[in-house]
């Protein structure tokens, strides 16, 4: 701040009349001038802090519009703090090193928001408060040696633990898909196969072994709800083709990135380069979340031409979506038709046995030990989303390490918000039989009768299979409940369903639906 500005502030607040100064009061006036100057400098400091706070507020408002709500609350809200802007560097402070690592993924967006507010490009630097040697938003006052205290805080607070646990869980549940790269850790070997995903896995494996016109399925379309393994299969195919056919050029991309690339080249009149890239240089094209073509007519048109040319050249096309092609709204009929040219397969939520197997595999990957009772509890409650199922172990591992506690049933119920034992339903042969009868819309008495009607026999066999699988009841107990049949009849029923479920998607859906109802 210049001397002129200081003097104007002094005159404004205190109306100093220089004409009345005399030799007698010179010392008093000098002291007054010193105090007023100090006051003006303090006003400038406060003004600077206010400006930083306002800019920080605008940055947070921008981030809130582009960052998922849960990530925003964990990484930015009440954490991200602009501490200084010096030449071309803007320094932000966050609570922990873990949040720093996550927040840095959004450095480009933070820089954009700074440009929107200030009209200048800044390099963004993010510092963890636990590693910072100052507190920028607090006024620093010199301390005497006698008043100085040194403390070493090694125990994280409950809020710190909660923040870190949530951050790890969110990272698992919301993987960043922009600029997707092949994940070499996702292979067919660590994809857990069960009756609800075996056909999709077999089709993907067949494509990986013989891609394009040399194979059975030059076009493959896999659909399911979120978090059931579609993207894992894409990466597994990419890894297998890279290993078995190293001369093939593989492109794994999201629909959103495909669209943004097209728009970028279209703006600079290089749309032919876009077309040539995919039709001439790419041998295997895998597009994740193809349903995001919805209502994007321009991108649909380019995709249509790319699809036709690659298909005519015998190249491999693989798509994933959350819907069957026929169910996607907002895309043209000609696109729907081409997405159905090849093999269309779906993945259903995993059954109990597969869920337990998935948990065991994830437990090994995390180097984590959890006893069978806890695994069964988790698998019985989280039924429809594999990512959420695995995320439960990510959360439990973080809690266990940060709090130094064993993973036991009560901890699992608290952290995963599972109901207490009094709300749990004990599974019995009878509860399984009732759920099966209700699903197939048959009287329970028919399942226990001697009737050999095809529908009754099928439902009875399913009930026996589930009683053995879920309840782990003995064959004699199952036979006695279902009309006094001997153990050989139960063995036959269980074996029949076990074999059929491997090749019959309809039966797999039925069994999974009954399990979900239970």
Q: DSSP per residue over 102-155, as a string? A: HHGGGHHHHHHHHHHHHSS--EEEEEEGGG-S--TTS------TTT-------S
Query: 89 and 203 share a domain?
Result: no
Query: 206 and 328 share a domain?
Result: yes
Query: 412 and 463 share a domain?
Result: no
Domain annotation covers residue 27:
no
**Do residues 59 and 80 touch, judged by C-beta distance below 8 A?**
yes
Q: What is the pLDDT of residue 316?
A: 95
pLDDT along the chain (518 residues), means of 10: 46 43 48 46 50 85 74 75 86 79 80 81 84 44 40 48 51 48 88 90 94 90 89 93 92 90 89 90 92 89 92 94 90 92 90 86 82 82 81 80 74 68 65 88 86 87 89 86 88 89 82 79
Which of residues 128, 151, 166 is at a domain's end? Answer: 128
**Do residues 379 and 257 touch, judged by C-beta distance below 8 A?**
no
Domain annotation covers residue 29:
no
What lies within 8 Å, CB to CB, of 88 at 6+ separation is 120, 121, 122, 123
Query: 84 and 224 share a domain?
Result: no
Q: What is the pLDDT of residue 213?
A: 86
What lies within 8 Å, CB to CB, of 99 at 6+ separation is 74, 75, 79, 128, 163, 167
> How many domains does the chain divide into?
4
Q: What is the pLDDT of residue 36?
A: 46
Range of the domain at 458: 429-516
Query: 258 and 386 share a domain?
Result: no
Domain annotation covers residue 158:
no
Query: 109 and 228 share a domain?
Result: no
Domain annotation covers residue 475:
yes
Domain annotation covers residue 338:
yes
Q: What is the pLDDT of residue 307?
A: 94
**Do residues 230 and 197 touch, judged by C-beta distance below 8 A?**
no
The CATH number given to whatever domain includes residue 103 is: 3.30.300.180
Query: 233 and 339 share a domain?
Result: yes
The CATH number given to whatever domain includes residue 358 is: 1.10.8.60
Query: 222 and 109 share a domain?
Result: no
Query: 365 and 340 share a domain?
Result: no
Query: 318 and 359 share a domain?
Result: no
Q: What is the pLDDT of residue 74?
A: 65
Domain annotation covers residue 139:
no
List the beta strands (DSSP E) in 303-350. Answer: 316-321, 343-346
The CATH number given to whatever domain includes residue 500 is: 1.10.1750.10
Query: 467 and 326 share a domain?
Result: no
Which of residues 346, 369, 391 is at a domain's end? Answer: 346
Which of residues 70, 97, 128 is at a domain's end? Answer: 128
Q: What is the pLDDT of residue 399?
A: 76
Query: 202 and 335 share a domain?
Result: yes
**Do residues 262 and 379 touch, judged by C-beta distance below 8 A?**
no
Distance CA 143, CA 149 (A): 10
């Amino acid at each position: 701040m210049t001397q002129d500005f200081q003097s104007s502030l002094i005159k404004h607040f205190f109306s100093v009349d220089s004409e009345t100064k005399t030799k007698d009061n010179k010392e008093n006036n000098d002291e007054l001038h010193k105090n007023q100057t100090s006051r003006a400098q303090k006003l400038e400091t406060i003004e600077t802090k206010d400006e930083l706070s306002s800019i920080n507020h605008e940055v947070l408002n921008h981030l809130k519009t582009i960052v998922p709500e849960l990530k925003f609350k964990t990484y930015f809200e009440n954490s991200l703090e602009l501490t200084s802007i010096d030449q071309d560097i803007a320094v932000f402070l966050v609570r922990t090193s873990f949040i720093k690592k996550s927040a840095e993924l959004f450095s480009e967006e933070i820089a954009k928001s700074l440009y929107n507010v200030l009209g200048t490009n800044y390099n963004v630097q993010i510092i963890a408060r636990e590693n910072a040697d100052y507190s920028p938003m607090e006024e620093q006052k010199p301390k005497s040696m006698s008043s100085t205290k040194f403390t070493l805080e090694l125990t994280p607070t409950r809020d710190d633990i909660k923040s870190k646990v949530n951050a790890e869980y969110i990272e698992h549940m919301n993987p960043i898909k922009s600029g997707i790269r092949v994940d070499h850790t996702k292979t067919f070997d660590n994809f857990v196969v069960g009756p609800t995903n075996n056909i999709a896995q077999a089709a993907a494996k067949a494509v990986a072994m013989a891609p394009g016109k040399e194979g059975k399925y030059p076009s493959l379309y896999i659909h399911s709800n979120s978090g059931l393994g579609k993207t894992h299969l894409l990466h597994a195919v990419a890894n297998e083709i890279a290993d078995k056919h190293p001369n093939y050029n593989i492109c794994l991309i999201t629909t959103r990135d495909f669209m943004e690339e097209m728009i970028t080249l279209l703006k600079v009149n290089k749309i032919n380069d876009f077309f040539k890239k995919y039709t001439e240089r790419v041998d295997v094209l895998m597009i994740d979340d193809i349903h995001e073509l919805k209502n994007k007519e321009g991108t649909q048109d380019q995709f249509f031409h790319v699809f036709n040319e690659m298909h005519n050249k015998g190249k491999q096309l693989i798509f994933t979506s959350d819907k069957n092609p026929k169910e996607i709204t907002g895309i043209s009929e000609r696109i729907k038709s081409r997405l159905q040219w090849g093999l269309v397969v779906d993945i259903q939520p995993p059954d109990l046995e597969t869920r337990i197997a998935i948990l065991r595999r994830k437990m090994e990957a995390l180097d984590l030990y959890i006893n069978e009772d806890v695994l069964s509890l988790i698998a019985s409650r989280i039924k429809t989303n594999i990512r959420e199922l695995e995320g439960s172990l990510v959360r439990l591992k973080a809690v266990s390490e940060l709090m130094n506690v064993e993973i036991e049933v009560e901890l699992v119920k608290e952290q995963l918000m599972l109901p207490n034992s009094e709300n749990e339903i004990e599974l019995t042969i009878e509860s399984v039989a009732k759920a099966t009868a209700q699903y197939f819309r048959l009287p329970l008495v028919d399942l226990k009768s001697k009737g050999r009607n095809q529908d009754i026999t099928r439902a009875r066999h399913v009930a026996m299979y589930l009683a053995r699988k879920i309840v782990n009841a003995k064959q004699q107990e199952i036979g006695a409940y279902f009309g006094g049949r001997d153990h050989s009849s139960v063995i036959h029923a269980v074996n029949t369903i076990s074999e059929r479920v491997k090749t019959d998607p309809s039966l797999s859906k039925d069994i999974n639906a009954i399990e979900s109802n239970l």
